[in-house]
Amino acid sequence: MPRQKRVFTPEYRAEAVQLVLAADKPIAEIARDLGIGESTLGNWVAKAKENGVVQDKPLDVNERAELKRLREENRVVKMERDFLKKAAAFFASQSQ
């Protein structure tokens, strides 16, 4: 027997999204507590963000500093990767 599709009111969805945003718990845990699927709740949160109903919290000073550090590290890693690609191509062409 197929499972019956559950229908949730817009108010219920909005409250669930607010619960996710207000809590410091993962979506999976909140979904389990509410008795709904993790992907369902994740979709609701994503849709609310996409529609501009919910804004992500702004980054604090520590998060901004970490983001800046990670971007710089990523830039260096990409530069090293590109150099190694060129070096590998050079040595591959020399061995033929």
pLDDT 10s digits, 22-37: 888 899 999 999 999 9
pTM above 0.75, yes or no: no
In a domain, 1, yes or no: no
Instruction: Between 25 and 54, name the one with better pLDDT.
Output: 25
Separation of alpha carbons 93 and 68, rounded Å: 38
Are 71 and 47 in the same domain?
A: no
Give me the mean pLDDT over the 33-60 stretch: 88
d(CA 65, CA 44): 30
Mean pLDDT, residues 39-57: 86
Give the residue numbers spanning the domain of 96: 58-96
C-alpha 11/C-alpha 43 separation (Å) is 15
Half-sphere exposure of residue 59, counting CA atoms within 13 Å on the CB side?
8
Residue corresponding to tokens 């669930």: 16
The CATH number given to whatever domain includes residue 35 is 1.10.10.10
Query: Tell me, what's the pLDDT at 53?
Result: 78
Same-domain status, 41 and 71: no
